Structure 1
Amino acid sequence: MELGTVIGNVWATRKEDELQGLKFLIVQPEHADRTNAGVPFVAVDRIGAGFGDQVLVTRGSAAANLSSSEKKIPIDALIIGIIDSVDVEKEVK
């Protein structure tokens, strides 16, 4: 899982049938201290995150299994939580 902040929206009115009804957000990955941790990416949001929210994201095959159906959905990033706070006791190096 990764931490990140929602920095934008992606609007796609035409998409694969399995993606109908899903919201796409642009997420900036971050370290626990909120410093930049890489290149922004697009993630599917089903929990109602919005611009500026700090979120928890899963990527890869875990994201593609968001549905209980046997068919995997063609996504590679899924927002799985909106973060209330992050507490770090010591600096990670």
Structure 2
Amino acid sequence: MMHDYYRRRAEGVILEFIRGIKKRASLNWALGCLREMLEHGMRSSSDVLEIMEEIEGNPSLYLLDRFPERRERLKMLKRELKRIIKS
């Protein structure tokens, strides 16, 4: 049950960032939330990257084609998260 909660939480953070509607949804905020989940074992890095892949794989569902800036924000988040994971 908690496994589902943290998966939904990670997905929510990613979606809030790529939508870019709320001021608090900055790159640093999103990375901080995801990093905390990774550090505390709430999600694995492969889980988070898998969520991002699912979002990329459903561009119409998340309006990635209609709003290209969303796709760019997703790519930026993914790139920075991979950089953090490696360090």
Indicate the TM-score class for this superposition, using the shorter chain for normalisation.
under 0.3
**TM-score for the superposition, normalised by structure 1:** 0.24
Larger strand fraction of residues: 1
Taking CA–CA contacts closer than 8 Å with sequence separation of 6 or more, which of the two structures ends up with the larger relative contact order? 2
